[in-house]
């Protein structure tokens, strides 16, 4: 025959409830921290990776066009000096 100990049942229930409260507090703290970081980043005017890559591609294209124009000018100057 097994008897149930009221004290142990109460302690078990208390621990179960405490773990639930601790998990809820952890989730709440994570959400608050994520919101804080998101707001902080938004206020800093950081660019996204996609925006950065787009501007880098535009700069690379401009450099290539600049080099092509330099070569063309040099060829035209060579023609004029003859």
Interatomic CA distance for residues 32 and 2, integer angstroms: 47
Predicted confidence band of residue 3 (pLDDT cuts 50, 70, 90): low
What is the rounded CA–CA span in Å between residue 46 and residue 39?
A: 12
Catalogue the long-range contacts made by 53-62 (C-beta closer than 8 Å, 24 or more residues apart).
none
* Residue-wise pLDDT tens digits, 16-45: 999 999 999 999 999 999 999 989 988 888
Residue 49 burial by Cβ neighbours in a 10 Å radius (0-12, 13-18, 19+): exposed
pLDDT at position 82: 80
* 3-class DSSP string for 12-23: HHHHHHHHHHHH
Q: For the chain, what is the mean pLDDT?
A: 91
pLDDT of residue 54: 97
How much is the pTM? 0.47
């Amino acid at each position: 025959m097994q008897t149930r100990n009221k004290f142990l049942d109460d302690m078990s229930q208390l621990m179960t409830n405490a773990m639930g409260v601790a998990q809820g507090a952890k989730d709440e703290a994570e959400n608050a921290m994520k919101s804080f970081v998101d707001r902080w980043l938004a206020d800093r005017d950081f660019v996204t990776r996609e925006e950065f890559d787009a501007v880098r591609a535009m700069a690379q294209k401009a450099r290539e066009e600049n080099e092509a124009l330099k070569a063309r000018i040099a060829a035209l100057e060579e023609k004029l000096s003859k």
